[in-house]
Structure 1
Amino acid sequence: MPIRLLVVDDHPLVRDTLTDALGRSALVDVVGVACDGAEAVEAAVRLVPDVVLMDLVMPVLDGAEATRRLLALLPGTRVVVLTSAVGGRLERAALNAGAATILHKDAGIDAVLDAVVAVSPGGVNP
């Protein structure tokens, strides 16, 4: 069965590109998208994805806090943070909140797919 994936990013181009590129893989079923952290938590509760690909810097609710809230409600879901920020408080906060791994947005789509597969239930954490 494909990995149920929720894509979260406040930039429509990034969100749409990730959704399209990852959706082409037979390994992934993109079950939804969200444009901020609050919407991500709501969508995750409704859709129960295996993995959430979470932007870190977003309006309304940042990715670290969204990760904390989401995992409190859905502890079996895994979160891969994808960010343009390098190091710093928000990355540490995301890891402390339970994010499985952090990738930078300069990673290629293959690296993102590999991370999603690796952290998914039954995968091997990178």
Structure 2
Amino acid sequence: MDLGYDVVVTISGMVLVFLILVILMVIIMLEGKAFNTLSNKKRPAAPAAPKPEAPAAPQQQAVAPVEPEPQPQVEPGIPGDVIAAIAAAIYALGGGKYTLRAVRRADRGGWSKAGVSDTTAPF
């Protein structure tokens, strides 16, 4: 079976690329393990927690009434699904620290409108 020179070069090139990828994967795995061991050495060992004693009887705790979160002030004409998407984005990006207080349309001048229409126009 006679393989042409081009086929042999192509196959050997593919094998070489595959071997380089395997070597890179091994290097990245070794670096990850090295960094994990370094970060574990820097962390102080957690002190052993004392064993809690078993309570004699379960106690009823008074639960404070939960106040509902205030609803955001919404400008008329903004759909509810847009408000929900904005609130979800704020919650996700802030990790639950922030809440949505108001939603209103942006007051745009003439130059701003021109810039938006220019960048969103189809090609």
Q: What range is the shorter-chain TM-score in?
A: under 0.3
Q: Which has the larger radius of gyration?
A: 2
Higher helix share: 2
Higher strand share: 1
Q: State the structure with bigger RCO (CA 8 A, min sep 6), 1 or 2.
A: 1
Compute the TM-score of the two structures, normalised by the length of structure 1.
Answer: 0.19
Compute the TM-score of the two structures, normalised by the length of structure 2.
Answer: 0.19
